[in-house]
A and B are shown apart, each in its own frame.
Chain A
């Protein structure tokens, strides 16, 4: 490919080389980086054109757009890396609106001195995650910043997905009596990243739950009506999503601690670090609100999907309290007491996504 494009000089030393300022200059070195590392990871007709924009044919109807930036540290963590995370993050944001993700764009901000081998590993991970999700990376951009002005690599992805005509997922439609379903065990991404962080000194067998959710969502939608809205509990965890819904609707969200699946390793890390798993990030889980008459069907559809094996009906929606217009989230604890589940305390949490 190098010779076809006619870049002069030796090929990049991917094993030992590092990203230099010149790789972001837009000159020959930039082209070389693109052709030898980035293009092979995503190879498709749009990228091969290497133009200023990608031109795509789109069907008529409604389209969902989403963008997300990824600054996770460490960039490689048990069960994933910043590349696959950047794909799953945007794919999942689209999926939560009922959309079928189609195209992605990728922006890379790389710090001078970043190992080319890591860059190759991340772009390959990004490319194969996109392929598994059935989305094409059709446009992208690479910038290099001086050493000390970034932390290795930051990635932005934007995505676009098609929404079937009759699908409207909207929290403002949540009603008293609706049921809350959680797609799987919580906190594995947050706990795995925290455990992998320097200084944590924790060794576990825990893997991030990072995964694309659009397939499971499509199966739910295809099974019939009754789905009200979806949200993926990333930063801030399950507690934050429930509080957002409570504030948007003014209703009371009641959950039961005994119905929330949590793996033992996550419990352990939470105890050691003093973090409530309800606030730990997830990258491959979602919360669904559904009508009571559809709850059993949706739960069984979800449980038959590989990502929903541990799905659980965790609570329901009750009437709001006029003295608390912002709604509230309550939990019956294992001991049988009832407590508030508040917004995350403003603690300086490390970067997890």
Chain B
């Protein structure tokens, strides 16, 4: 595992400490008393907590958590539809592990549906779901596909592969959402001074994808890797831009992200998917042209059409602040039920489910004196 050297290099403690000192000096030169910086991606939220970075930041930097957690933004209606697929339509549902604990209506989850007799399988990849369909020729197998641009190309690839293998019992319930429209929606409603841009998503869509947003909202966006030194470097770059009154897209994660992104993945996506007219995001509501649906020529593999599946709007419980937390308006500890009624073992809102969710990350790593979030 030679690639691991990349990991250890970017966790060097001595370098990290000197970068933190530099960050503190930069923070004192800021033109205002404090800045709000959003990490868009749940991967960064998790890293902040896991490496204990939040409490090390200078007090002038306030981090705001973004909506970039694929599980967290799934609205209840989509969980309900998935439960219907496996419980009523008797399809074998294959999906990623975190999805099983996301509550739909009446606190029902796929995990509970499984205990009620539904056949729900955890897969680590889209290809595993396809192989499952091949192994169960007599049964309908549906891949409950979720995620931002990172997981979209593999889903596209299995649709093409299912077509090539002429599989008759495989389909995809597509819930692939897009980062730029969500970022725009957030910036329209929340005031932040800079954004740490997604790392894995950007390997696919490229750093140029954020140019329009940075210009439109006059905001620095720095794409960063998930390691501690990546994050500290990105924060320095954002502060530098603020100090110089610049607002542009910069790429800290240049070892993996190019300006144009991964063209082959983009081609794969375009071949199988088109923009869906609208998608309901938990917290952000209906956003036009913010997700992808399967093109007509692959409609056989589209579970929504195959099972005439309706996705209904279901309101979130009033006490849960997931929506406001996903928009960066509130922090996990502002929620009245955080850590009491709502815990990772019994989540009320989706932010408490995935390790990348702001509430779960804070619950898991952060709850102690001296930590501000």
Contacts and interface: CB of A to CB of B under 8 A. Distances in A.
Given A264-B1, A339-B366, A345 B344 contact: yes
B368 A335 contact: no
B56 A348 contact: no
Contacts of A338: 52, 55, 368, 370-371
Interface residues of B, number: 41
A339 B17 contact: no
A204 interface: yes
B305 interface: no
B363 A335 contact: no
A334 interface: yes
B16 interface: yes
A346 B364 contact: no
Contacts of B54: 337
Interface in A317-353: 328, 330-340, 342, 345-348
A266 to B, nearest CB: 10
A199 interface: yes
A199 B125 contact: yes
B52 A345 contact: no
Contacts of B8: 267
Contacts of A131: none
Interface in B71-92: none
Q: Which of under 10, 10 to 19, 20 to 34, or 35 or more describes the interface residues of A? A: 20 to 34
A346 B98 CA distance: 10
Interface in B323-369: 344-345, 355, 360, 363-368
Given A267-B4, A271-B7, A339-B52, A348 B122 contact: yes
Interface of B: 1, 3-4, 7-8, 11, 13, 16-17, 20, 49-56, 97-98, 100-101, 111, 122-125, 128, 228, 344-345, 355, 360, 363-368, 370-371
B13 to A, nearest CB: 5
Main secondary structure of the interface of B (DSSP, over half): helix
B353 to A, nearest CB: 9
B263 to A, nearest CB: 25
A339 B111 contact: no
A258 B13 CA distance: 10
Given A274-B355, A346-B101, A336 B17 contact: yes
Given A328-B368, A340-B364, A348-B111, A276 B50 contact: yes
A2 to B, nearest CB: 40
A224 to B, nearest CB: 36
B50 A339 contact: yes
16 contacts: A199-B124, A199-B128, A201-B125, A258-B13, A264-B1, A265-B1, A334-B11, A334-B13, A335-B17, A335-B52, A336-B13, A339-B49, A340-B366, A340-B367, A346-B345, A348-B111
Contacts of A348: 97, 100, 111, 122
Nearest to B346: A346
Contacts of A330: 368
Nearest to A345: B344
Given A268-B1, A274-B355, A340-B367, A347 B97 contact: yes
Nearest to A276: B50
A222 to B, nearest CB: 38
Given A265-B1, A342-B364, A337 B122 contact: no
Given A332-B52, A337-B51, 11 more contacts: A199-B125, A258-B13, A265-B1, A267-B7, A273-B124, A328-B368, A331-B52, A335-B52, A336-B20, A339-B51, A340-B365
